[in-house]
Chain A
Amino acid sequence: MSSPAVSEPLGQPIRGPRALDDSWSRFWHLAYNIARSEFKLKFFGSALGYVWQVMRPLLLFGVLYVFFVVILNVNKAEGAAGKFYGVQLLGSIVLFTCFSEGASGSVRSVVDRETLVRKIQFPRLAIPISVVLLAAFNLGLNLLVVMAFALISGVRPMLSWLELPLIVSMLMVFTTGVAMLLSALFVRFRDIQPIWDVFSQILFYASPVIIPVEAVRKELLSHGSLGHTLYHVYTLNPLVAIFQQFRHAMVNHATLSAGQVMGSWAALLEPMALVAAVFVLGFWYFNREAPHIAEDL
């Protein structure tokens, strides 16, 4: 592989581009500062600034709320679990918005920063991570709106609110895994974008955003073994456990907890293993592609 003269090192080797550098602090500073400047741009970039960022999930919420609560009376149908349905809906929308911004936003991220990638040596992973960080900043602000809405709606502070960091970090790990995978795949396969757009839509309806998990459960489990299998597939989606636990712990204890949805708390290991698998796969693939991203662009 290497020529004979390469036996004795003559200094620090130049290893070429990688996903991560030797220096974690450089990676972190870079990802954080890219995200921060993007955030500032959104905040100060337009006349109404951050209002637009909060408006997006709120508008979606408004449409869905009118449709499902006012017209279809979903909350009435679900009994005690349907209490504070509006807050549940808004919470799920905000969480899904974060996932979608992180995952869909990262698809083109590396390719869009082509000039950087081709002209500067830096830990490549900083690019998709900065997109996820930006989504996390937005989530922080959106969650404030959700909590304000919850308190106005009459949700009382609960001890289980302490679970929020755990729920959010689970969501972030999953989002990061998907972001790493998608951003590296897109360099090679440009049709990842339409494929992901469709897949993301499916995930939106297959997660407890509009349709409460209680309704899905009642419907599927009454349809024999096929229904049971479908329900099992449904619960494999990590977003189901994450969103549902948010509804349970943050809004209404009458809704099913993640453990109840899965059947047992041990069964929760399945979606968690999936989150871990996506994260490892995403990192592995990005790390493998990182050295030649600059050449493949």
Chain B
Amino acid sequence: MTASSQASPPGLPALAARGVHKRFRIPEERSHTLKERALHPLRRSRHDDLHALKDISFDVEPGEFFGIVGRNGSGKSTLLKCMAGIYRVDQGAIWCNGRMSTFIELGVGFNPDLAAYENVALNGIMLGLSPKEARARYERVIEFAELEEFQDLKLKNYSSGMHVRLAFSVAIQVDAEILLIDEVLAVGDAAFQQKCFDVFSSMREEGRTIIFVTHDMSAVTRFCRRAMLLERGEVVSIGDPRDVADRYLELSFGRAAGYEDDQVGSARMGDGTARVTDVWLGDDRSEHRSVAPQSEPLTLKVLVTFNADVVDPAVSLTLLNDQRQPVVVATTALDHEETGSFQAGERAGFAFSFHNMLAPGRYHPILTITHRGEGLDVIDRYTGGLSFVVSGLTASGGMVEIPVETSVSRWGRAPEDEIQTAGSRR
């Protein structure tokens, strides 16, 4: 129904869905026993239908890195499970071409009482390998997981990091042409996530198809070639990840702003003696830039139109990241307490410049104009409009990428009472 009906590809798509519907029955009172059935044989179990997926259609071309995004409860995980064959679709159909492997969770079915070898073989068989194939892959799995020394250990004696490494390594050693990935990248530390992304990148270069379900917009814009946005079980948009990311933010922030509106009573806070009319990135307003490269100077410009005479207004910037955490807060009141007096009908530009040390991801500026003073007398609060992506490869996991110098020096033997025995660390 949507963008899927492009010009027909030379071959078949890697995965195609047409008119997929999925409903869940949510019983109001679940009778979980035969006794209840026997006592109330005539009572029909009342239930609500949750229409989790409504008429979903899309194609994923071979070799594509395709993102499926949506907020919690939008149906993205249900769709993934339908694609993986864990749920049966009620209507419509899904086809795939090629061997498919699903990473919904790492290490599913690992038995803590068995050693790595048994677990790797069993997990491989569950993921669709023959026992011979599963055993043949064992060496590679252990090597990739860097667990050669620990392979005879039972899994319950593994640290959680070793556990995750083994599970991930098992999962990627399945020679699938199509990979379905559900936010597995949320686990593990930053270094492990980076390793995951490296693996996915190399898989993409090998020409494998990757379908990635997430609500992490920065990952989608960084890796996906195309993306699809789901909202309440329906496809909202399919196409360029940046456009999809913008729609996503509209959906989530639009709603959040609406919530604030209810409390304040108007779309914009403040007395309205001045309004922010535009915000843009860089020097040239007409460029409509939405990407700010990391470790380069970044300028955010604000255009304010005055509807009444205002003396020494202050403009402040709050830069939120995707998790709505304020990362940068700046105000003109610090540098220029006396910004000057402006007359009704006048326009003025305010600029915020800094060296871009933000972590890759999407950012949303919030601009507030206040009267001179303590900043509580709000003229205007501007939340909509621009959001931009910081692009770059340095993603340590922190909110900002401040250059940090490290050094090592030896301090000699530690006092005895500071040394813990190896056993007490566990």
Contacts and interface: CB of A to CB of B under 8 A. Distances in A.
A223 interface: no
Given A2-B19, A11-B16, A17 B125 contact: no
A1 B89 CA distance: 12
11 contacts: A9-B93, A11-B96, A12-B96, A16-B86, A16-B88, A17-B85, A120-B86, A121-B85, A122-B126, A294-B81, A295-B87
A10 B91 contact: no
Contacts of B81: 294
Interface in A1-31: 1-3, 5-6, 9-17, 25-26, 29-30
A12 B15 CA distance: 9
B108 A189 contact: no
Interface in B72-101: 81-89, 91-97
B391 interface: no
Interface string A170-188: 0000000000000000001
Nearest to B182: A119
A16 to B, nearest CB: 3
Q: Give the size range of B's interface with the partner.
A: 35 or more
B34 A189 contact: yes
Given A6-B18, A33-B121, A119 B32 contact: no
B183 interface: no
Interface string B19-43: 1000010000000111101000000
Return the 5 tightest CB-CB contacts between A and B, nearest first.
A16-B88, A3-B19, A11-B95, A121-B85, A11-B97
Interface string B118-137: 10011001111011000000
Contacts of B111: 37, 41
Given A6-B93, A119-B86, 18 more contacts: A3-B91, A10-B59, A11-B16, A12-B95, A12-B96, A12-B97, A13-B93, A14-B83, A14-B94, A17-B88, A30-B125, A41-B114, A119-B104, A119-B108, A120-B84, A122-B126, A190-B33, A192-B34
B214 interface: no
A2 B19 CA distance: 8
Nearest to A7: B18
A40 interface: yes
Interface centre among B15, B18, B19, B84 (most CB of A within 10 A): B18
B86 A3 contact: no
A294 B82 CA distance: 11
B57 interface: yes
Interface residues of A, number: 43
A195 interface: yes
Interface of A: 1-3, 5-6, 9-17, 25-26, 29-30, 33-34, 37, 40-41, 45, 113, 115-122, 188-192, 195, 291-292, 294-295
B53 to A, nearest CB: 13
B33 A11 contact: no
Contact of B86 (A10, A121, A191): A121
B264 interface: no
Given A3-B19, A6-B19, A120 B95 contact: no
B3 interface: no
Interface centre among A6, A25, A192, A195 (most CB of B within 10 A): A6
A41 B34 contact: no
B126 A15 contact: no
Contact of A120 (B13, B35, B37, B126): B126
B126 A2 contact: no
A33 B131 contact: yes
A98 B118 CA distance: 25
Contacts of B104: 119-120
A294 B92 contact: no
Contacts of B412: none
B85 A14 contact: yes
Contact of B32 (A1, A5, A33, A190): A190
Nearest to A1: B91
A179 B94 CA distance: 32
A116 B110 CA distance: 10
B12 interface: yes
B86 A294 contact: yes
Contacts of B114: 37, 40-41
Contacts of B250: none
Contacts of A26: 125, 128, 130
B305 interface: no
Nearest to B35: A191
A65 B91 CA distance: 61
Nearest to A5: B18
Contacts of B94: 13-14
A41 B112 CA distance: 10
B105 interface: yes
A37 B124 CA distance: 14
A9 B92 CA distance: 11
Contacts of B368: none
A191 B13 CA distance: 47
Contacts of A115: 105, 108-109
Contacts of A292: 88
B12 A34 contact: no
Contacts of A119: 86, 102, 104-105, 108
A13 B92 contact: no
A230 to B, nearest CB: 26
A30 to B, nearest CB: 6
A189 B19 CA distance: 33
B76 to A, nearest CB: 16
Interface centre among A25, A33, A192 (most CB of B within 10 A): A33
Given A3-B91, A116-B109, A295 B24 contact: yes
Contacts of A13: 93-95
B57 A5 contact: yes
Contacts of B102: 119-121
Given A118-B86, A119-B86, A37 B91 contact: no
Nearest to B21: A3
B16 A10 contact: yes
A37 B131 CA distance: 13
Contacts of B82: 14, 16
B113 interface: yes
B216 interface: no
A3 B122 CA distance: 39
Contact of B95 (A9, A33, A189): A9
Nearest to A190: B32
B55 interface: yes
A294 B77 CA distance: 14
A6 B92 contact: yes
